[in-house]
Structure 1
Amino acid sequence: MMKKLVLIALLYLGTGIQANAQDNYVHTAKGNLVKILTANTGAKIKLNDVITFNVVQKTEKDSVLFSSYTMGHPLKIQVQACENAGDLMDVLPLLAEKDSALVKVPTDSIFKDHEDQRPPFLPKGCNLLFTVKIEKIQSLQEAMAERNAGLAKIKAEEIPARDKYIADNKLVVKTTPSGLKYFITQPSVKHKPLTGDTLLVNYTGKTIDGKVFDSSVQADAQKAGLNQPGRNYEPLQVIVGTSAVIKGWDEGLLLLNEGSKAEFIIPSNLGYGAEGAGADIPSYSTLVFDVELVKIKPIKHAPAKPVTKTPVKHKTTAAKKKS
């Protein structure tokens, strides 16, 4: 006859966390239920630590709502004070590096005071289920040092990668003093825009490894497999020279004639820099844009002031004649 397991109720002082002897879940101060699936020795997570973790979020009917494994990389966050049950911050102090846990989060806590935002598949009284695996724990200083070292490596690789793209594609480019590289693919003899003019621009943007991340041209978007629901495929309106777009665009568009097409090779300092722009544009990314200046809608510009040349006085070299 098997002996019955005796579950000991534990009290976690200072955290408001109590064990539930009935189902081996731990209750947190915010009402979450936590079951440790894999426990390891080592320091527990502390406030301000930076953690790298994988997580799967499900409904009680086992429908997956989110998975970092599907994304292809873990998440990284800094641990803050807990504000609501859904942020899991009251769960993290229970875990050490390589620990895993199942967390039940009451949806009534998540949608308290804003029931209008509750989706139909999360009815009152149900829980959201999170399976969390802690991959790495770092102090804020350690995480910043790692990030800075990684960014420095990426930054150092940008110029060689850009030069390789130009060489591999046998491009003959012009380079402006700022570092913008471009070449005209369809010339035009029409007029050029001035700062403040509204331009209609068709474009397709990609990284130098060929990944298309945006396009105003439907054929290009479909060819690249872009998912842009609700997108109206039409030229983008840009007020040029007013910082409404990235610096590389502001500079490059002023170099084009109406009706011309060009390729811009925009270094990161004229694009999105160290921050990047979401998953599609990493830090220190050189961007490539195929652009067409479809139309210029000029504003009324002040007439250019005539240039007057100042006469140059020449010194005489004639010696003063002696009397």
Structure 2
Amino acid sequence: MNNYKSLAIALLSIIFLGACDSEKKETTQDGIDYVLVESENGESFSEGDFAIYSLKLVDSEDSVLINSEEVGELPVQIIDSVLSTRGPLFSILKELNIGDSIKTKLSASEVLTQGFRQPVAQDKDPEERLTVYAKALQKLDTAGFMEWQQQKREEAMQKQRADAEAQKGIDDQLIQDFLAKNEIEAEKTESGLYYMVTEEASGEKPEAGDTVRVNYVGRTMDGTVFDTSYEDIAKESGVYNEQREYGPIEIPIGKGRVIRGWDEGIMLLNEGSEATLYIPSGMAYGARAAGPKIPANSSLIFDVELVEVK
């Protein structure tokens, strides 16, 4: 039994010593402490080099604030006179060698305000300690950095196209389910727009570039009214703005001045017609939010009246 106990103690000692050796406390030339988690004894950076880092920020409640696996790596040009003004985070980053992994604790203001020139969120304490994990990934010259940037742009565009294509199917199913549930018969255009004419008229149809006057009520798919040209509906729905003049809005159509769902949908109507447009998110505001009532990737419903074609 004593032999087993001695062996266990010896193994624990080896593990403990190994852990101590793999994480070393370091201090930058500016006096900033950090822990070197791992080193590959890589090449150092020189003045003017472009360095690419991975970065992860975790707050005091273990919530991840920034993760380069999701938002992309951090590119930094090593210019000492610039980085020395950006606080302790960049003091550490500029001294790493390629392959070095570090962790440290810095205040939110040190990382966000000093480092990234961004204000600390109102619900955050500027002195809250954030855990920072970083790794130096690549060293690039100017030509290499320009190539890296182009590659990242292409990757981002490919992802946007893939996400948009996937969202098309989600939006189409959402609109179809809504129409079926509410027993609505709407026509679908080749682009994916659904529409139902609720009041026919015999006036002229607008063409691209025409100016039109339109009354409307805009709703999300759950029925929430987010905007309208009708004063009474605005008051009923809690979106009334006393500084606004209500009534038909005047817009050029078919020229990209409004969302694509409007550009296409309004030109399907005759002057005097009324219709409901069921607009997939890709023809509305896409992957970006549009105010507090329209989240990202929102399909929208518009009741519209084409009052006049000028």
TM-score class, shorter? 0.5 to 0.7
Tell me, yes or no, if structure 1 residue 233 matches structure 2 residue 246: yes
Question: Structure 2 vs 1, CA of residues 279 and 189 (structure 1 numbering), >3 Å: closer, same or farther?
Answer: same
Question: Structure 2 vs 1, CA of residues 207 and 18 (structure 1 numbering), >3 Å: closer, same or farther?
Answer: same
2:109 to 95, 103, 109: 103
Q: Is the 8 A contact 2:205 2:267 kept in 1?
A: yes
Q: Helix, strand or coil: the match of 2:217?
A: strand
Query: Partner residue of 2:28?
Result: 13
Q: Is the 8 A contact 1:11 1:17 kept in 2?
A: no
Tell me, yes or no, if structure 1 residue 182 matches structure 2 residue 195: yes
Looking at structure 1, the residues matched to 200 and 214 of structure 2 have their Cα atoms a distance apart, in angstroms, of 15
Q: Is the 8 A contact 1:263 1:291 kept in 2?
A: yes
Q: Helix, strand or coil: the match of 2:251?
A: strand
Query: Partner residue of 1:245?
Result: 258
1:297-308 matches, within 5 Å, as 297=310
Q: Helix, strand or coil: the match of 1:189?
A: coil
Q: Helix, strand or coil: the match of 2:126?
A: strand
1:14-53 matches, within 5 Å, as 16=30, 18=32, 48-49=53-54, 51=56
- CA distances 1:51-101 after superposition (whole Å, capped 9, x unpaired): 56679xxxxxxxxxxxxx9xxx968866565889899975997x959x683
Looking at structure 2, the residues matched to 87 and 258 of structure 1 have their Cα atoms a distance apart, in angstroms, of 62
Question: Structure 2 vs 1, CA of residues 42 and 190 (structure 1 numbering), >3 Å: closer, same or farther?
Answer: farther
1:1-323 matches, within 5 Å, as 12-13=27-28, 16=30, 18=32, 48-49=53-54, 51=56, 101=107, 103=109, 130-132=126-128, 156-226=169-239, 230-275=243-288, 277=290, 280-297=293-310
Q: Helix, strand or coil: the match of 2:309?
A: strand
Q: Is the 8 A contact 2:207 2:267 kept in 1?
A: yes
Question: Structure 2 vs 1, CA of residues 83 and 196 (structure 1 numbering), >3 Å: closer, same or farther?
Answer: farther
Instruction: Give the TM-score taking structure 2 as reference length.
Output: 0.53
Instruction: Give the TM-score taking structure 1 as reference length.
Output: 0.51
Q: Is the 8 A contact 1:154 1:283 kept in 2?
A: no
Q: How far 1:237 moved relative to its partner?
A: 1.6
Q: How far 1:136 moved relative to its partner?
A: 9.5
Question: Structure 2 vs 1, CA of residues 87 and 175 (structure 1 numbering), >3 Å: closer, same or farther?
Answer: farther
Counterpart AA for 1:13:
T
Q: How far 1:13 moved relative to its partner?
A: 0.9
Q: Is the 8 A contact 2:168 2:282 kept in 1?
A: no
Looking at structure 2, the residues matched to 291 and 89 of structure 1 have their Cα atoms a distance apart, in angstroms, of 53
Q: Helix, strand or coil: the match of 1:103?
A: helix
**Which is greater in Rg?**
1
Work out the percentage of aligned pairs sharing the same amino acid.
Answer: 30
Looking at structure 2, the residues matched to 133 and 150 of structure 1 have their Cα atoms a distance apart, in angstroms, of 35
Q: Is the 8 A contact 1:53 1:132 kept in 2?
A: no
Q: How far 1:165 moved relative to its partner?
A: 1.1
Q: Is the 8 A contact 1:51 1:134 kept in 2?
A: no
Matched length: 232
Task: Give the superposed CA RMSD.
Answer: 5.2
Looking at structure 1, the residues matched to 240 and 106 of structure 2 have their Cα atoms a distance apart, in angstroms, of 34
Q: How far 1:183 moved relative to its partner?
A: 0.8
Q: Is the 8 A contact 2:260 2:283 kept in 1?
A: yes
Q: Is the 8 A contact 2:32 2:91 kept in 1?
A: no
Query: After TM superposition, which residue ranges in structure 1, 4 or more long, deviate above 6 angstroms?
Result: 39-43, 52-55, 73-78, 82-89, 135-141, 147-153
Question: Structure 2 vs 1, CA of residues 269 and 230 (structure 1 numbering), >3 Å: closer, same or farther?
Answer: same
Looking at structure 1, the residues matched to 194 and 133 of structure 2 have their Cα atoms a distance apart, in angstroms, of 42
